[in-house]
């Protein structure tokens, strides 16, 4: 082939069926009521999958955040973690990484030198471990 000009390419797709469908799951974080109505017309919709939580699930999540985890005051734990020294904080980060679950939310912002963790997403055993560590390092 030389440069430039039009070139004809023969291409045969060899379709076996007249129609092809590809299903894709999509998630709507905050669906509007009109959208939900239209989606219901096309088929069944789930609650959690579409970002709409059932009232009961939402209530249980709120109750869980309010109650202390097995004798641990979560507010006090958060305060105590902020009072720890740099070396102790490195141990805390290591404990979290070694004992976190798939549900645990963490964010490591290396540029800012910050490590974020949602204490309410930690497993009970890790919450207790962090509590005991803070009591040991800071006393009561």
Note the pLDDT of residue 37: 81
- Tens of pLDDT along 85-140? 999 999 999 999 999 888 889 888 888 888 889 999 999 999 999 999 999 999 86
- Tens of pLDDT along 33-52? 887 788 788 777 765 444 44
* Residue 2 C-alpha from the chain's centroid: 54
Q: Cα separation of 98 and 126, whole Å?
A: 10
**More confident site: 80 or 27:** 80
Note the pLDDT of residue 55: 47
């Amino acid at each position: 082939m030389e440069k430039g000009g039009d070139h004809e390419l023969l291409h045969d797709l060899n379709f076996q069926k007249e129609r092809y469908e590809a299903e894709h799951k999509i998630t709507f974080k905050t669906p509007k009521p009109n959208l939900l109505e239209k989606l219901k017309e096309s088929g069944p919709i789930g609650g959690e999958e579409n970002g709409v939580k059932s009232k009961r699930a939402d209530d249980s999540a709120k109750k869980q955040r309010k109650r202390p985890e097995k004798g641990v005051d979560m507010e006090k734990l958060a305060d105590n973690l902020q009072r720890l020294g740099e070396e102790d904080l490195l141990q805390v980060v290591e404990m979290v990484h070694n004992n976190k679950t798939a549900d645990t939310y963490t964010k490591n912002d290396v540029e800012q030198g910050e490590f974020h963790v949602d204490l309410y997403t930690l497993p009970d055993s890790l919450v207790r471990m962090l509590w005991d560590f803070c009591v040991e390092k800071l006393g009561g």
